[in-house]
Amino acid sequence: MPRTPASQVHQLRVQLVARTEFLPPADVPWSTDAEGGQALAEFAGRACYQSWSKPRPSTATNAAFLRHVLQVGHLSVLEHGTATLYLRGVSRAVAHEVLRHRHFSTSELSPRHVPTDGAPVVVPAVVAQDPAAAELFLRAATAARAAHDELLTALEAGRSGGAASAGPELAAETLRHKQARQAALALLPGATETQLVVTGNYRAWRHFVAARATDLVDLEVRALAVACLRQLQSAAPHVFSDFEVGELVDGTEVASSPYVTEA
């Protein structure tokens, strides 16, 4: 049985591709030492009480103001700023976990997009560490892809007795092709690689990290959450710097914050 080439085993990649731009109103007597979504969060918080003069020295800077927001739990102001991450090298099984976070806006690679040279797979870390397990995993993935290809070929050739299509011949052929691909997809493993563009406000991203970067979560999901956190800390450090990444005895990473009260 042919083995899955190393080039078709994809690694996790998380990239920041967009973030909030803030345009402060010229007629408001206020300024801050931050920009983008962080400045917008402070602006929203101060707008609630028109506290433009920064009457409290302890919250005069953007970092201090947002730290106070985290401490008291007034997280609604964090919903104004957003970050968009491009996730690649994510298995379809893990993508479902991301999609469960309903406050995200997500665009996923079409499940009908299967490269003709083989569907890439994501090998779980615990499998990759064991050569025998990795060999078994890749053989199973290759077998599943071969079964997918065989079924697709049979359906497209009409050998499976597919449903008849009305209308012009070209339209019928197109419909039969789509139906065949949709049916064959059921045989592709959950390890098949997918890609997502995910936009979330800062509060939604904080919830995702808090819920998915703990030691109680599957390794691949946790690794994704930690990778997202690092991008978010770069984009908005005043909003995400309270999360600290730690290492467990098995060498895997987790993240936690003293300001997270629920996940």
Angle between helices 92-99 and 219-235 in degrees, nearest 10: 60
Q: Is 98 annotated as a binding residue?
A: yes
Q: Is 109 annotated as a binding residue?
A: yes
Q: Is 201 annotated as a binding residue?
A: yes
Burial 185-224 (b: 16+ CB within 10 A, else e): bebbbebbbbbbebbbbbbbbbbbbbbbbbeebebbbbbb
Q: Is 62 annotated as a binding residue?
A: no
212 is catalytic: yes
Q: Is 112 annotated as a binding residue?
A: yes
* Nearest C-alpha neighbor of 182 from the set 162, 198, 165, 164: 162
Q: Is 177 annotated as a binding residue?
A: no
Output the CA torsion 21→262→90→112 (10° steps): -80
In sequence order, which residues have a C-beta less than 8 Å from that of residue 62 and are 6 or more positions away? Answer: 32, 33, 34, 38, 39, 42, 238
Q: Is 197 annotated as a binding residue?
A: no
E strand segments, 101-155: 105-108
Q: Is 219 annotated as a binding residue?
A: no
The catalytic residue among 145, 212, 222, 230 is 212
Q: Is 176 annotated as a binding residue?
A: no
Q: Is 202 annotated as a binding residue?
A: yes
Distance of alpha carbon 262 from alpha carbon 118, whole angstroms:
42
Residues contributing to the annotated binding site for FAD: 76, 100-102, 108, 201-203, 207
Residues contributing to the annotated binding site: 76, 97-102, 108-112, 201-203, 207, 212
Residues contributing to the annotated binding site for dUMP: 97-100, 108-112, 212
Which residues are known to be catalytic?
212
